């Protein structure tokens, strides 16, 4: 039987739900599959009105679906883990990527609304923030989103006597068991390179890969004679980045980077621990510092892991542009949580499908394919004709180019 794009997409969702072990009622699963499909079909805003207009069910049915509490709904983390295993196939060099994502909002009644840092605007702005958790594969240089978790406002955190970093640690702790089954390495940007975060997640079994400030206070590891009594000396001379002691470090051969890259073991005063340090000396005389508190990692692995981290930013971009990450206008925290994770799940399924049908990665092209297929189905259904799917599939492959012929 020849399946169209909508059937293929739904089949991938269904198989992922089965692999995740989710025990859903038939009615709930039908609405869930429909709303995940609609997320990649609808070209405008993905809101309840649009779902009711394009979908098989009423607008209120979709509202009720979004409003289910977490324990009554789908386990998004397990669903996305099943999709990640299908996408990456063989377990390679994986790491858990985390990053906060700013979502602009103008109202005052939305849960957890406040002032958050916007990376695009390079300023603090009024809106919402979610912490995105993704699984990055260093071999394929790709990312599958696992979970989105909304960040409380600073006022709410102050009432709980917590900081934002404490909240981020708490999120990782919440999903600790599932994440450790995939990787014990967490890669994040320079904001997270603090002793509070690095030592906080280490208590839960995770190592950190990140970037240090350019003016960080670092020391060579002491390799001289130790005293017979007392604690052993760890710190040696302070590292002077203008006059590096090349005898204490190894030169790395990294493709795609101008300048020179060195690696060594060092002691970080800020982190209060021994780290694997990577120093990138750029042609203009400046330098960048990358590190991991997992000293079993090589310098190449640290740098490659950090460079792969940026794939999570591309997931945020695609989710905002194509799967409605910023479209939900609900004022219920459960509905917002459902909307954010629905957006990432729909994006993940699209990635899996594009890879399996041999389509170059382009969410714009994929959405056009899904919308056109949906519209064609509606036209044939309304006219009462039954199309010849075998013939249509052959013509479609020739004209649209899903199976591109060699030039």
Convert the pLDDT of each residue in 249-274 to its tens digit: 999 988 888 899 999 999 999 999 99
Paired tokens of 29: 């699963």
Contact between residue 193 and residue 268 where contact means Cβ atoms under 8 Å apart: no
Residue 83's pLDDT band, with cuts at 50, 70 and 90, is very high
Chain segment 138-168, per-residue pLDDT in tens: 999 999 999 999 999 999 999 999 999 999 9
Query: What is the arithmetic mean of pLDDT over 344-352?
Result: 97
Query: What is the arithmetic mean of pLDDT over 400-404?
Result: 47
Q: What is the mean pLDDT of the chain?
A: 90
Residue 279: name the closest of 237, 310, 307, 251 by CA.
251
CB neighbour class for 326 (10 Å; exposed up to 12, middle 13-18, buried from 19): buried
CB neighbour class for 376 (10 Å; exposed up to 12, middle 13-18, buried from 19): middle
Domain ranges, ordered by start, for the chain:
5-75+331-400, 212-297
Residue 376's pLDDT band, with cuts at 50, 70 and 90, is confident
Residue 401's pLDDT band, with cuts at 50, 70 and 90, is low
Does the pLDDT at position 222 exceed 50?
yes
**What are the φ/ψ torsions at residue 370 (nearest 5 degrees)?**
-65, -40
Residue 341: name the closest of 176, 181, 107, 101 by CA.
101
Query: How far apart are alpha carbons 354 and 318 in whole angstroms?
Result: 14
Query: How far apart are alpha carbons 387 and 76 in whole angstroms?
Result: 36
Q: What are the angstrom distances between the C-alpha of 135 and each of 30, 244, 275?
A: 28, 35, 23
CB neighbour class for 277 (10 Å; exposed up to 12, middle 13-18, buried from 19): buried
What pLDDT score does 218 carry? 94
What pLDDT score does 226 carry? 76
- Higher local confidence (pLDDT), 276 or 230: 276
Instruction: Please tell me the least confidently modeled range out of 72-76, 239-243, 385-389.
Output: 385-389
Chain segment 22-78, per-residue pLDDT in tens: 888 899 999 999 999 999 999 989 999 999 999 999 999 999 999 988 778 899 999
Residue 228's pLDDT band, with cuts at 50, 70 and 90, is confident
Long-range contacts of 310-313 (CB under 8 A, 24+ apart): 311/97, 311/134, 311/136, 311/141, 311/142, 311/143, 312/97, 312/98, 312/99, 312/132, 312/134, 312/136, 312/143, 312/145, 313/99
Paired tokens of 271: 């982190």
What pLDDT score does 398 carry? 62
Does the pLDDT at position 402 exceed 80?
no
Query: How far apart are alpha carbons 279 and 112 in whole angstroms?
Result: 39
Contact between residue 214 and residue 287 where contact means Cβ atoms under 8 Å apart: yes
Chain segment 279-324, per-residue pLDDT in tens: 999 998 899 999 999 999 999 999 999 999 999 999 999 999 999 9
Angle at Cα 39 formed by Cα 35 and Cα 40, nearest 5°?
A: 130
> 33-37, 106-110, 214-218, 232-236 — which one is most confidently predicted on average?
33-37
CB neighbour class for 154 (10 Å; exposed up to 12, middle 13-18, buried from 19): middle
């Amino acid at each position: 039987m020849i399946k169209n794009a909508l059937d293929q997409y739904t089949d991938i969702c269904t198989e992922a739900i089965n692999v995740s072990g989710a025990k859903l009622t038939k009615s709930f699963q039908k609405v869930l599959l429909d709303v995940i499909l609609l997320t990649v079909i609808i070209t405008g805003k993905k809101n309840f009105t649009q779902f009711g207009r394009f979908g098989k069910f009423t607008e209120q049915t979709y509202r009720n679906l979004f409003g289910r509490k977490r324990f009554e709904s789908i386990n998004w983390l397990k669903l996305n883990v099943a999709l990640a295993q299908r996408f990456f196939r063989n377990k390679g060099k994986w790491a858990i990527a985390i990053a906060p994502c700013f979502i602009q909002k103008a109202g005052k009644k939305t849960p957890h609304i406040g002032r958050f840092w916007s990376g695009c605007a390079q300023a603090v702005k009024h809106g919402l923030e979610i912490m995105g958790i993704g699984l990055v594969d260093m071999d394929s240089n790709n990312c599958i989103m696992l979970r989105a978790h909304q960040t409380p406002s600073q006022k709410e955190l102050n009432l709980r006597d917590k900081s934002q970093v404490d909240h981020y640690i708490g999120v990782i702790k919440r999903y600790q068991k599932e994440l450790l089954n995939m990787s014990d390495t967490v890669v994040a940007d320079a904001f997270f390179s603090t002793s509070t975060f690095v030592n906080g997640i280490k208590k839960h079994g995770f190592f950190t890969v990140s970037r240090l400030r350019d003016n960080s206070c670092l020391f060579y590891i002491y390799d001289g004679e130790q005293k017979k009594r007392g604690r052993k000396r760890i710190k040696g001379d302070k590292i002077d980045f203008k006059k590096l002691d090349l005898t204490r470090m190894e030169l790395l051969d990294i493709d795609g980077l101008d300048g020179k890259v060195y690696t060594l073991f060092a002691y970080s005063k800020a982190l209060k621990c021994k780290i694997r340090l990577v120093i990138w000396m750029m042609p203009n005389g400046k330098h960048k510092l990358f590190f991991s508190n997992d000293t079993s990692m090589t310098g190449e692995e640290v740098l490659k892991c950090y460079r792969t981290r940026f794939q999570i930013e591309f997931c945020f971009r695609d989710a905002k542009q194509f799967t409605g990450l910023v479209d939900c206008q609900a004022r219920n925290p459960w509905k917002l949580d459902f909307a954010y994770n629905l957006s990432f799940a729909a994006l993940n399924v699209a990635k899996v499908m594009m890879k399996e049908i041999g389509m170059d990665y382009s969410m714009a092209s994929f959405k056009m394919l899904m919308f056109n297929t949906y519209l064609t189905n509606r036209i044939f259904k309304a006219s009462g004709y039954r199309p010849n799917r075998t013939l249509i599939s052959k013509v479609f492959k020739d004209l649209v180019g899903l199976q591109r012929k060699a030039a």
